[in-house]
Amino acid sequence: MLSRKCASLATRAAARGPGGRPFVRVGGAVACARRVHQQPAAGPRPQHVGILAMDVYFPQRCVSQKDLEVADGVSEGKYRIGLGQERMAFVGDREDVNSIAMSAVYNLLSKYRIDAEQIGRLEVGTETLIDKSKSTKTHIMELLGANSNVEGVTCINACYGGTAALLNSVAWIESSAWDGRYAVVVCGDIAVYAAGPARPTGGAGAVAMLIGPDAPLPLSHERHSHAEHCWDFYKPEMHSEYPAVDGHLSNTIYLRSVDVCYNHFLGKTTPDGSVRTFDYMCFHSPYNKLVVKSVGRLLYNDYVRSPDGCAPELSKALGQWHPDSVAPSTTYADRGLDTALKKLSADVYNAKCAPSAALSKEIGNSYTGALWMNLVSLVHNVRSALEGKRVFMFSYGSGSVATAFAIYPRAPSAAQNPAFTCQAIAETIDLQNRLSSRAEMSPAEFTAALLLRETTHGAAPYVPIEPVETVTPGAFYIHEINSAHHRVYVQRPIADEADDSVSATS
C-alpha cells in the first residue's frame, strides 16, 4: 500500500510517469492510467529477442582500494593489482536488496518512458535474501501500480540468478504463452564479507533490463551450461549476511566452468572457432583478476583443442603444457601456466575484454548483477560501433551453475522505439557522469557502515540511523522496519521535486 510521507516512484510528478501519462490512484495504489491490452495476432515467432533497454543503480558512496590497502596494512597494489579493483561501492543500514532493485527498475521505466501496463513479466535474480519466503519481485510490484497481471518470481543460485531470470524471460517471449508485453529483469546484490582478506571483493549494485523482440542486444539461441555440486561459496547462516567461502576452490570451479562452457559452446556454434571468433567478451566478475585469468584460459583451451594446429605463438609458449603430457584438469593452480597465459592474453584482454570491465572495477562485485554491469560497461564504451559484433558471455554462480552464450548487437528495425539502440542506451545511462558524482569515503567510514549492517541485521522493529543524505537522490531507501518485520521504503526526492512525494509500504 502507499502512504503519504517522503518520496516514491509511484507518485512523482505526472510528467515523470512511465509513458508520460498521469498517475491515478487505483485500489490504494498508484498507477498510470490503464490502457487495454490485446493479445498479439497469430504469426511468426518473435525474432531477435533480447535486451531492448538497460539501466543501473549503484550506491553513491564508495571506498578507494588504494586507501583500503593502507588502512589494512597490506602491501601496495595488493587490491588494485592483486585483485584488479579500483573502488568498491557500499551501503549502510538505509539500503537493502529490495531498495536497490526498486531503484534500478524505477530508473529503467522512467527514463525509457515505459508504461506499467506494458509489463507482462517481472523476474528478479539475487542472492541477498532478507526473507525466506517473500520475494524481492513482490516489493517491486509497488512500482507497477494497478497492473497485477505480471508473471515471474525471484531466481536464486548465488551469482547465477540474474542470468536465470533473463533466460526465463527470453523463453517466455519466444513461447506460445507470450501476450505481447515486455519483460523486465532486474539483477543485483549487496556483497559484503567479514573483516579479512575477502572483504575488498565486496560491492553493491543492480541492473534492470527491458526484454522484448527486435532488440539491439539479442541473445543467441545456442548456449552451453555446466552444473555441479561443490561447496565453494554458500550462506548457511541466516542470522548473518556473510558467506562461507573457500576461495581456492571457488577459483578452480569457476575456471573449470569456463573451460567446459567455452569448448562446448564453440562446438555448437563454430567448431573451428577460437578467441578470434568473438569481438568482445563479458565475464562474471567477482574481481577483475579472475576475468584476466579467464581470458588466458580461453587461449589455453584453443591450444589444448589443437596443440599442433593452433597459432604458432601459442605452440611455442605453451609447449611444456602439451595435453599429452600435462592433463588440463591439473593446471588450475599452475602458476607457471598462469604467468605464461597472462602474457599471451594481454592484447586479447585489452582489445576484447577491458571495455566491459571498467564498471565492475569501480563498484566491485554485484553478484547476480556483475555480468550485466559488464555488458552495460561495454555498451557505454563502444556504443553504436557494437552493432554487427559478436559478444561472448560467461555467467557463473557458486554451488555451481554456469552458462556460456552470445549476444549479437544489431540495429533494430525502423519501426522500433528509437530509444532502443546501443547508442541510446549508452546516452541514457550516462555512466561516466554518474560514477564521477559519487562520494569517496574513508576506510573508517566504510568499516563503520559494514559494522552497522552487521549489528542490526534482522533487527525488528528498527529505524535506520544513517542520514538519508547517504542515499542517491531519486533512489529508494528503508524508512523503517516494524515489529512484524514489514519494511517501509521511501524514495529520496530529487531537489526540484521534493514537495511531490509519497512512500511505499511493503
Q: Which residues are annotated as a binding site?
A: 250, 289, 293
CB count within 10 Å of CB 338 equals 18
All three cell numbers of 421, joined, read: 539502440
Widest Cα–Cα separation across the chain: 72
d(CA 355, CA 216) in angstroms, rounded, equals 18
Residue 322 known to be catalytic: no
All three cell numbers of 471, joined, read: 542515499
All three cell numbers of 120, joined, read: 507482462
Could you report how far apart the first and last alpha carbons of the chain are, in Å?
7
Q: CB neighbours of 369 closer than 8 A, spacing ≥ 6?
A: 56, 125, 162, 187, 188, 189, 205, 206, 207
Q: Which is catalytic among the residues 139, 224, 284, 479?
A: 284
Residues making up the binding site for CoA: 250, 289, 293
Question: What does each C-alpha distance from 166 to 63, 371, 455 come to in angstroms?
Answer: 31, 12, 34
Could you tell me what percentage of the chain is helix, strand and coil, using 3-state DSSP and rounding each to the nearest 5?
A: 40, 20, 40
**Residue 416, Cβ density class (10 Å: 0-12 exposed, 13-18 middle, ≥19 buried):** middle
Residue 32 known to be catalytic: no
At residue 231, the 3 state secondary structure works out as coil
d(CA 24, CA 323) in angstroms, rounded, equals 67
All three cell numbers of 433, joined, read: 557522469
Residue 282 known to be catalytic: no
Q: Which is catalytic among the residues 117, 123, 127, 241?
A: 127
What size, in residues, is the chain? 506
* Contact assessment for residue 69 and residue 161, using Cβ atoms and an 8 Å cutoff: no
What are the phi and psi torsion angles at 304 (to 5°)? -65, -40
Q: How many helices (H) and strands (E) does the chain have?
A: 13, 21
233-234 and 244-245: which strand pairing? antiparallel
Question: What does each C-alpha distance from 268 to 259, 261, 311, 364 come to in angstroms?
Answer: 14, 11, 22, 33
At residue 172, the 3 state secondary structure works out as helix
Rg from Cα positions in the chain: 23
DSSP line for 468-483: GGGSPTT-EEEEEE-T
Q: Which is catalytic among the residues 62, 159, 261, 353?
A: 159
Single-letter amino acid code for the residue at 150: V
Q: Please give the positions annotated as active site.
A: 127, 159, 284
